[in-house]
Amino acid sequence: MSESPRFDLFDPAQTQTLWEKLRWLRRELPVSRPMEGFVYVARHADVRAVFRNARDFSSREGFRGAGVVVPVEESFLGEIDPPLHAELRVLMLQAFRPGLEKRALPFTRALVEGLWRDLATTRGGDLVERIALRIPSAVTLHVLGVPDADIAQVSAWGFELLHSTWPETNRTERGSGLGGAFPELAGFLDEQIARRRHSDAPPDDMITRMTRAEADGRRLSDLQIRTLCANVLLASLSTTNLIGNLLHRYMRDPAFECTLRADRSALGPAIEESLRLEPPVLFLFRTARRDTAIAGHEVHEGERIVLGIASGNRDERVYERADDFVPARWPGAAEHLTFGPGPHLCLGNQLARMEARVALEAAMDVLPAAALRLAPDFELEWVPMFLEYGPDRLDAVVDAAAV
């Protein structure tokens, strides 16, 4: 392998501004080593191939720190390899039934319209905190079956969990595992599971369907259901970045707002193009199970493979004007990499798309044209997470004369 340009994969100041370097890598060195023990895959076809190859590339280490081993029953779905992954995914698909996003639509629309009305009342605020952060967690918890009165508290626990040391180390100063590190959240989920286990007429929600799911005599344990509930909640929070990226574009580009107001059917292609150009997650990890090769470049057993989602999504070999926002390319363009093509395809991808659509639709329904704009002193800063891509804040004002 030729000499690789060096960059720190765990420094958001670098990973969120790599566009020129990634363009060079795609052209000159599509498989590189930016750090010792890490192999970065830059081209669309190669990233897709590794995503689909669970035989040679393991998901087991997931996003955890080096040497952190999590018991299988406490592992997220994306951290589990075949054949167990396939068995669990079959059970989870019974909970993520087709049309889930349609059943969640009335709740989502009522929630989001209320959030926009509240924002109009205060004449603005931080749209990440007021809109983008609140939608994914609330909708996910509603779908899981958490009572409406408990959604705010459980959302707060989920936010605290995501921004603690637990995702990397599986522990905090309070203890290890979800039960030790966040006993309130774990206890709440355990109680919800127990209620459904012992009810003759449980509600038709995702937790109930997980307790009832069965395939070839296999069922999910209570600990696995608790883990998967936390998994679904934390995974949904990346939708915050999707919504934030779209709202940022909506406010800074008046032509974009005009296009959407003139034709609501333009929302779908716009969301798809945002997912491609501004993926909420920049890259994911795999681990080489054995000495093998990617696109003719040798990789060694134990090396961490960095799947360059953001790089592959801008591959000039696949997309014309790859660095431009071109919604008209959808449908018809090659599948983007944002939801992880292959056996680990994100189960909540349709739910995320629905939430983003409703966020923009409700903004247009509640607020008049051009009423929402970025605050005059706004300066864009990205969320301080090395593998995420979205605004950390979106300070906005609502024109008082327009509402």
| Structural domain contains residue 3 | no
Q: Return d(Cα 304, Cα 288) in angstroms, integer.
A: 6
- Position 78 scores a pLDDT of 82
- Domain coverage including residue 139: 12-402
- Position 304 scores a pLDDT of 93
Give residue 147's pLDDT band: very low, low, confident or very high (50, 70, 90): very high
Question: pLDDT, tens digit, for every residue of 68-124?
Answer: 888 888 888 888 888 888 888 888 888 888 788 999 999 999 999 999 999 999 999
- Position 61 scores a pLDDT of 78
| Structural domain contains residue 83 | yes
Give residue 402's pLDDT band: very low, low, confident or very high (50, 70, 90): low
Smallest CA-to-CA distance from 393 within 190, 222, 241, 213 is with 241
Overall average pLDDT of the 15-28 stretch:
96
Give residue 350's pLDDT band: very low, low, confident or very high (50, 70, 90): very high
Q: Is the peptide bond before 83 cis (omega within 30 degrees of 0)?
A: yes
| Structural domain contains residue 72 | yes
Q: Return d(Cα 146, Cα 205) in angstroms, integer.
A: 9
Q: Is 6 helix (H, G, I), strand (E, B) or coil?
A: coil
State yes or no: pLDDT of 355 exceeds 90: yes
Give residue 2's pLDDT band: very low, low, confident or very high (50, 70, 90): low
Residue 307 contacts residue 62 (beta carbons within 8 Å): no
Give residue 203's pLDDT band: very low, low, confident or very high (50, 70, 90): very high
| Structural domain contains residue 94 | yes
Provide the number of structural domains found in the chain.
1
| Structural domain contains residue 2 | no
- Pairing state between β 57-58 and 38-41: unpaired
| Structural domain contains residue 48 | yes
Give residue 163's pLDDT band: very low, low, confident or very high (50, 70, 90): confident
pTM: 0.93
Distances in whole angstroms, Cα of residue 103 to Cα of each of 73, 184, 285, 289, 398: 29, 29, 33, 41, 31
**CATH number, domain containing residue 377:** 1.10.630.10
- Pairing state between β 292-294 and 297-299: antiparallel
Smallest CA-to-CA distance from 210 within 303, 145, 138, 304 is with 145
State yes or no: pLDDT of 1 exceeds 60: no
- Position 401 scores a pLDDT of 66
For the chain, the average pLDDT equals: 92
- Position 64 scores a pLDDT of 75
State yes or no: pLDDT of 260 exceeds 90: yes
Instruction: Please name the helix (run of DSSP H) or strand (run of DSSP E) that holds residue 141, with its range, or none.
Output: helix 134-144
- Position 382 scores a pLDDT of 96
- Position 400 scores a pLDDT of 67
Question: If phi over 0 gives left and psi between -120 and 50 gives alpha, with beta otherwise, what is residue 371?
Answer: alpha
- Position 91 scores a pLDDT of 85
- Position 182 scores a pLDDT of 94
**1-5, 181-185, 279-283: segment of lowest average pLDDT:** 1-5
How many CB atoms lie under 10 A from the CB of residue 392?
A: 17
| Structural domain contains residue 226 | yes
| Structural domain contains residue 1 | no
Residue 305 contacts residue 285 (beta carbons within 8 Å): yes
State yes or no: pLDDT of 62 exceeds 80: no
State yes or no: pLDDT of 327 exceeds 70: yes
